[in-house]
Every structure is written in C-alpha cells, then in structure tokens.
C-alpha cells in the first residue's frame, strides 16, 4: 500500500518529504480496506485518521507504538485486519465486522496472564509499555489438561 501511495503522491509534488508524509498517511488509512485500528494511550481503538487528527505531526510515532486491533475469526484464532484482508479478500470487511474483538492475552512480568483490556485496567498510563514487553500467549491451554482448559474464559 505504501509503494502505491508513494507512486501517486510523488507525481503530484516536487517536495519529496511532503509526498512521503502523504504516502504514509494514505497507506495507513487505506491498508486492509481501511479496517486498521490501534489502541491509543487511553485504551480505546482509533483509526489512523483519528490518530492523525489527535496527535498532529506526532501521529505516526504514536500509531506505530500502539498495539493493533485483532479480531477472532471463525477458527477461534486472533487475526489482524491485514490478515483478514489477505484471507478473505473482498469479503474481509464483512467478516471483520462480524468478528469479536480478540482478547490478545500476554504474560506480564509478574507471571500473570492478562488480556489487553486487563493490561489497560491494571497498568493504567504505563499499559502500552508493559503490554509491549509482555510475552505473547499463543495458546492459553498449552500444558493444561482438558478439564483445566475448559475452565478458562473463551474468546
């Protein structure tokens, strides 16, 4: 998406810096069919356009430092908007809108496993740093027997 946006933007201006800024913005707002959203410092999901409106010139740094939204697909696994787009193609938006928000479980430095919403609630203003440093939990049932796993909250 970025290379396509760059090709369009660089033809319309002699200022390459401005063309690059516009290209990055266009790529972020249109990639994955415009479904991309990230968790801002306040713990809410926002689009690239909303990040740009709120953070101004610093939007890209904030955008890149913020975790991506993921949703739970029909197979019960968590996927980003780009992954939905790649798999479902032109139908991605429909499947994305029907899917529930993924819990995005990670193990924090205290050894406890938290969802992204629990990181936000527990770590407050430092949640993004703690979430970024935490270990991704690929399968919360790994190492557990069937009865123990059945007792865990489901996506």
Say how far apart CA 111 and CA 135 lie, in whole Å.
Answer: 10
What is the pLDDT of the chain when averaged over all its residues? Answer: 83
CB 65 within 8 A of CB 41: no
Check pLDDT > 60 for residue 8.
no
Say how far apart CA 8 and CA 15 lie, in whole Å.
Answer: 13
Q: Which residue has the higher pLDDT, 79 or 10?
A: 79
Check pLDDT > 90 for residue 133.
yes
Token representation of residue 8: 């369009």
Check pLDDT > 60 for residue 136.
yes
Q: How far apart are the first and last CA of the chain?
A: 31
| Per-residue model confidence as pLDDT tens digits over 100-130 | 999 999 999 999 999 999 999 999 999 999 9
Which residue from 29, 20, 17, 18 is spatially nearest to 6, judged by alpha carbons? 20
**Sorting pLDDT into bands at 50, 70 and 90, what band is 134?**
very high
Q: What is the mean pLDDT of residues 19-31?
A: 78
pLDDT at residue 149, as a whole number: 61
Check pLDDT > 50 for residue 26.
yes
Say how far apart CA 114 and CA 118 lie, in whole Å.
Answer: 5
Phi, psi for 78 (deg, rounded to 5)? -90, 135
- Quickly tell me which residue has 């953070």 as its tokens: 55
Phi, psi for 72 (deg, rounded to 5)? -95, 120
DSSP state of 111: S
pLDDT at residue 69, as a whole number: 96
């Amino acid at each position: 998406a970025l290379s396509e946006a760059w090709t369009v933007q660089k033809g319309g201006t002699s200022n390459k810096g401005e063309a690059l800024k516009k290209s990055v913005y266009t790529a972020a707002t249109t990639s994955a069919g415009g479904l991309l959203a990230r968790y801002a410092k306040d713990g809410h999901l926002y689009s690239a356009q909303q990040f740009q409106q709120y953070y101004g010139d610093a939007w890209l740094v904030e955008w890149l430092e913020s975790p991506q939204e993921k949703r739970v697909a029909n197979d019960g696994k968590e996927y980003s908007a780009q992954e939905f787009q790649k798999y479902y193609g032109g139908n991605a938006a429909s499947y994305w809108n029907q899917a529930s928000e993924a819990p995005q479980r990670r193990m924090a430095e205290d050894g406890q496993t938290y969802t992204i919403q629990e990181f936000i609630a527990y770590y407050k203003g430092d949640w993004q740093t703690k979430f970024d440093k935490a270990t991704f939990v690929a399968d919360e049932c790994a190492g557990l027997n069937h009865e123990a796993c059945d007792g865990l909250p489901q996506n």
